[in-house]
Amino acid sequence: MIKFKPLFTTLTLVTGLACSFSSWALNVTASVSKTSVSKDEIIQLKVAADEKLDGSKINFDTLSDNFYVGRPSFSSSVNIINGKRSDSSIWTVSIAPQKTGAVTIPSFKVNEATTTPITLNVTVGEQMPNTDDIIEVRSKIGKKELYPNESTKLDARIIVKVDPRRLQNPNLTQPLAPGLQIEPLSEPKQYQAVLDGVEVLIIDQEFRVTANNSGDFSIKIPTLTGAVRYGNSRTGNRLITLDGKSSQVALKVLPIPADYHGAWLPTSKLNLSQRWQLDNNKELSDDSVVIDEGDSLTRTIALTATGLSASQLPNLTINNPEAFRVYSEKPAFNNNDDGSVTMITKQVLIAKRSGEFVLPSVPVQWWDSANKKAQTSEVKGLSVTVNANGSSAGVPLLSQPPTTNTQPIKDSGYWPMLTALFACLWVLSTMMWLRARKQGSCSSVNQSEAKPQPIKSELIKSIKNRDTIKAQSLLEQWLNTHNITPEDAQSIRQEMSKMNQTVFGQVPTKWNISELINLIEQARTNTAQHKEQLAKL
């Protein structure tokens, strides 16, 4: 095995070098201005290479048997665009065929690369070309069968086989199909290429075709109209009018099945997915979660469909429990590279009260146009347990003194006096404890009113930053922990609702931020009710 290791290493190195050299291979192409010519008509032959070469690399003497050959010209250039270098070498020579029939321009060898031979159709007299000789139209459609409201992509290509500088008043037509809706997906793209030995101009454009009603339709592919200046100094120049005719593509639109019920959504492929996030942006992987009052959940649903536009995607209706305050963002749409469209829907749900709830699943009914059957895609719901906020609990009741089991005593002796003494001491200590507790509660209330409240400051800061989700959560905590009067709490919640409509609403509304902050600053607490509870104690 050790003997063959050097041989194996050598073969690997040679193979790697061969692959590297193949990626660096020289590309050489030959092209003419046209392939249908008359005897003695002068045309241009061009040979192009993608490296910087010497002009003596090509010898055009092999053309002299069948052509009159002019004096070749040579040029080379180096272009650097965005740090990327490209070299080119171009030979140009005028030739004229000496005989009629099929005359071939032979291939030329440059280093290890060769050009493709070009066959010319040479006639005695000059033949005027028609539109088909000048313009070629090609097309490709994604699907030849659709359903109403379904879309497909149409690719159109126009090949101009003459020098674009000879075009007069060129105009690019649009696809035409009565009964179908056609809209461009991109701007026309133009570039030079060599096709069958002829240097041509190619125009590409993409369209979206949408069916409205069932039936058989025909799409007229875009083409180029105008005129072409044709001729030379010997025969003179003439104008050839382009007839504007182009090929047509047949399209069949099938009717909606009679047994289909529900919202009509035809597509060959649909994907529905979702994700849940907590306040800390942590994603959930289970079907259940435990949160506290005032906490929020974010639900993001993504719907991706093929053959539909953004306006054709359905609005997702979700009936959430009343125990949650729901804020829905506007759906966002993305056009994907494969022609599909993705709709992203996001909801923020804030728990208002404790309990066990189920956030509903979301089904989407659609028609599978590829397999011609009804389908339903669904994302699961979520079981949510909402715990009560501990800070919102009421004032704890006073503990009752422990009861003792007494036995009857025949001879009381000095025990009645001791019992009376202990009873007086207990009553006195209880009265002193109640008085001290009352003074402590009042002082704590005064201190809480005097000192700045951190949660209140955070709430006002969130409102100024228009962070509605955080502000709503802090508001519920502040209202529960600071015993705000019902009248003020209702006014604050109404003003907070206006803020949410301004941020999340589809229709812009006017809202003054200072009004909400003033209501929070001037909010009153139920101190009278609190004092009344203490007095009862």
DSSP state of 88: E
N-terminal to C-terminal alpha carbon distance within the chain:
98
Judged against a pLDDT cut of 70, whether residue 524 lies above it is answered with: yes
From the list 241, 247, 214, 212, the residue with the least C-alpha distance to 229 is: 241
Q: Write the secondary structure of 52-85 as one string of H (helix), E (strand) and C (coil).
A: CCCHHHCCHHHHHHCEEECCCEEEEEEEEECCEE
68-77, 316-325, 491-500, 515-524: which range is least confident on average?
A: 491-500
pLDDT band at 240 (very low <50, low <70, confident <90, very high): confident
Q: Output phi, psi for 482, to 5 deg.
A: -110, 10
Separation of CA 95 from chain center: 55
Number of neighbours of residue 466 by Cβ within 10 angstroms: 11
| Confidence at residue 281, expressed as pLDDT on a 0 to 100 scale | 83
Q: Output phi, psi for 34, to 5 deg.
A: -165, 160
Domain positions in the chain are 28-123, 131-253, 266-387, 455-535
Q: Beta strand 151-160 with 135-141: parallel, antiparallel or unpaired? A: antiparallel
Judged against a pLDDT cut of 90, whether residue 396 lies above it is answered with: no
> Which helix or strand (DSSP H or E) is residue 7 part of?
helix 5-23
| Confidence at residue 420, expressed as pLDDT on a 0 to 100 scale | 58
Alpha carbons 231 and 240: distance in angstroms, whole number: 10
Q: How big is the chain by its Cα radius of gyration, in Å?
A: 43
pLDDT band at 298 (very low <50, low <70, confident <90, very high): very high
pLDDT band at 337 (very low <50, low <70, confident <90, very high): confident
Mean pLDDT of the region 58-62: 88
Alpha carbons 142 and 168: distance in angstroms, whole number: 33
Which tokens sit at 272?
């529905």
pLDDT band at 454 (very low <50, low <70, confident <90, very high): confident
CATH (residue range 131-253): 2.60.40
Judged against a pLDDT cut of 90, whether residue 392 lies above it is answered with: no
Judged against a pLDDT cut of 70, whether residue 398 lies above it is answered with: no
Q: Give the largest Cα separation in the chain, rounded.
A: 155
| Confidence at residue 285, expressed as pLDDT on a 0 to 100 scale | 85
Separation of CA 310 from chain center: 11
| Confidence at residue 271, expressed as pLDDT on a 0 to 100 scale | 95
Number of neighbours of residue 454 by Cβ within 10 angstroms: 8
**Burial class of residue 471, CB neighbours in 10 A (0-12, 13-18, 19+):** buried
Domain 28-123 has CATH 2.60.40: yes
Same-fold call for 28-123 versus 266-387: yes
pLDDT band at 527 (very low <50, low <70, confident <90, very high): low
Hey, which residues does 101 pair with through a beta bridge? Answer: 122
Spatial neighbors of 498 by CB under 8 A, at least 6 apart, are: 509, 511, 516
pLDDT tens per residue across span 70-116: 889 999 888 887 778 888 899 999 888 888 889 999 999 888 888 99
**305 against 415, higher pLDDT:** 305
Judged against a pLDDT cut of 80, whether residue 239 lies above it is answered with: no
14-18, 340-344, 516-520: which range is least confident on average?
A: 14-18
Alpha carbons 502 and 497: distance in angstroms, whole number: 9
Pick 266-387's CATH classification: 2.70.98.10, 3.40.50.460, 2.60.40.740, 1.25.10.10.
Answer: 2.60.40.740
Q: Beta strand 288-292 with 324-328: parallel, antiparallel or unpaired? A: unpaired
From the list 305, 297, 294, the residue with the least C-alpha distance to 271 is: 305
Which of 212-216, 407-411, 484-488 is predicted most confidently? 212-216
Spatial neighbors of 422 by CB under 8 A, at least 6 apart, are: none
Judged against a pLDDT cut of 90, whether residue 246 lies above it is answered with: no
Q: Output phi, psi for 382, to 5 deg.
A: -140, 130
Region of 466 (left: φ > 0; alpha: ψ -120 to 50; beta: rest) is left
pLDDT tens per residue across span 131-176: 888 899 999 999 999 999 999 999 999 999 988 888 888 899 999 9
Hey, which residues does 205 pair with through a beta bridge? Answer: 156
pLDDT band at 341 (very low <50, low <70, confident <90, very high): very high
Judged against a pLDDT cut of 60, whether residue 340 lies above it is answered with: yes
From the list 480, 498, 488, 495, the residue with the least C-alpha distance to 523 is: 488
For the entire predicted model, the pTM comes to 0.56
Judged against a pLDDT cut of 50, whether residue 534 lies above it is answered with: no
20-34, 59-73, 89-103: which range is least confident on average?
A: 20-34
Alpha carbons 186 and 206: distance in angstroms, whole number: 6
